[in-house]
Structure 1
């Protein structure tokens, strides 16, 4: 058991190192330029969703994109609907990385690390950028592979099986997801771990869906805490982001067995892809369902915050 903990910790450390390198490389535009991009190209709700989607991919963080939207709403640079569109697009954009991790690219790890290491030390910015991306992805998949090999024996431990059985309960599964997001502050990392556990036949995919719902709610915490120092408009966007994910969760929870059946039908032999699709479709469908009731949500939020928000 001690060896398993050591190697899982090593794999997590390597994964995070690769994720930091990748996200640092992808943040090719500054926060100020992000604000200019948002201000220039968010003409309507659908365009706002698209911009939020793109920015989340570039920044590799839906939380950071949402924080930018909250701060711009606070400064009066965005109206509520535009800022809300950006947050919804950011939720969708953050699912792209998890889709990538579902590919079986482990055989390419040595090549990615080797060529990435060479290119990142080149003088040309483009070559350096490509090198950082390749190296980051190579390190990420190396970390996932180490974790995958380390956790396989865990399926024989009764304590692990007891924990997995707890996640069959939607309430516990969602709560665990929220706690994981609060601790790690990265839904991408947490879902990658779920993919590894499902591939190792430790965690059933249906159970991971409840955790994914909780992760989406938990990742709202950073923007919500930041909004406490903003005016009414900033608070409204942060609360909207939380309600958006809570509403999506309330809709999906009773339908989860049928949802899982659809995911299994789409990719019957790839549990990692089922989890990635479960995360992606949750955010896309939630956006489609919430869009028509946005004005009612903001009316409810107005009542909710009352006159206390400054």
Structure 2
């Protein structure tokens, strides 16, 4: 891989992470206290707790943010531990929504979302419209970053070091440990899955290895 490919890969990762942050912050800003109300009041049954966890995490795109929020509610005695557990379970399901959107290639229309979102932020005065525009911008940036990463990893199929690494990671235990360490390093399972999806769609990572790495 050339230095330009590495720069594209890092730049794509930066856009992906920034897009996730913008999306998360914008949704929280748009929802305001309603997000807290949902978590506090709509978790009186196990099924509701799981569904709320799925919905909120799919919207915020960060199971970590939801978990931290739940810990805060529990410490403030606004929610019981039992309710929080079911919401966290739903949150772990909701965090897979990003991977599903990657699978259907939403990135094709990502620039459209980014352009419309920026337009709404610049030319509208309504706080609500600006918040929605920020959400669309974050969504667009996220998938534009993913597309950059997908293009950058193509030359890896000819790299002996990468091929040797993939051969080593065919061992399930090593695949899980490698993915766990990488996710801990970048602090985003969504970004880790995004990079893995980019490699898998180019045929650089076999399904069996990808499955174990997702577990990690």
- Point out the structure with max Rg over C-alpha: 1
Check 1:71–1:210 CA distance in 2 against 1; reply closer, same or farther (3 A cut).
Answer: same
Asked whether the 8 Å contact 1:167–1:210 carries over to 2, the reply is no
Matched residue, 1:257 = none
Q: Offset of 1:101 from its aligned partner? A: 2.1
Asked whether the 8 Å contact 1:56–1:90 carries over to 2, the reply is yes
Matched residue, 1:129 = 131
- The unaligned stretches of length 5 or more in structure 1 are 215-310
Asked whether the 8 Å contact 2:24–2:60 carries over to 1, the reply is yes
SS at match of 2:203: coil
Q: RMSD over aligned Cα, in angstroms? A: 2.0
Aligned residue pairs total: 213
Find 1:168's aligned residue among 167, 170, 177. 170
Matched residue, 2:206 = 204
Higher relative contact order (CA 8 A, sep 6+): 2
Matched residue, 1:45 = 46
SS at match of 1:120: helix
Query: 2:65 matched to 1:80?
Result: no
Matched residue, 2:180 = 178
SS at match of 1:37: helix
Q: Offset of 1:106 from its aligned partner? A: 4.0
SS at match of 1:123: coil
Query: 2:4 matched to 1:3?
Result: yes
SS at match of 1:43: coil
TM-score using structure 2 length: 0.88
Asked whether the 8 Å contact 2:111–2:141 carries over to 1, the reply is no
TM-score using structure 1 length: 0.63
Greater Cα offset, 179-188 or 55-64: 55-64
SS at match of 1:72: helix
Query: 2:21 matched to 1:15?
Result: no
SS at match of 1:39: helix
Matched residue, 1:94 = 95
CA offset digits 1:118-147 (Å, max 9, x no partner): 112211234323322322222222212221
Question: 1:22-61 counterparts in 2 under 5 A?
Answer: 22-27=23-28, 28-30=30-32, 34-61=35-62
Matched residue, 1:70 = 71
CA distance in 2, matches of 1:15, 1:35: 26
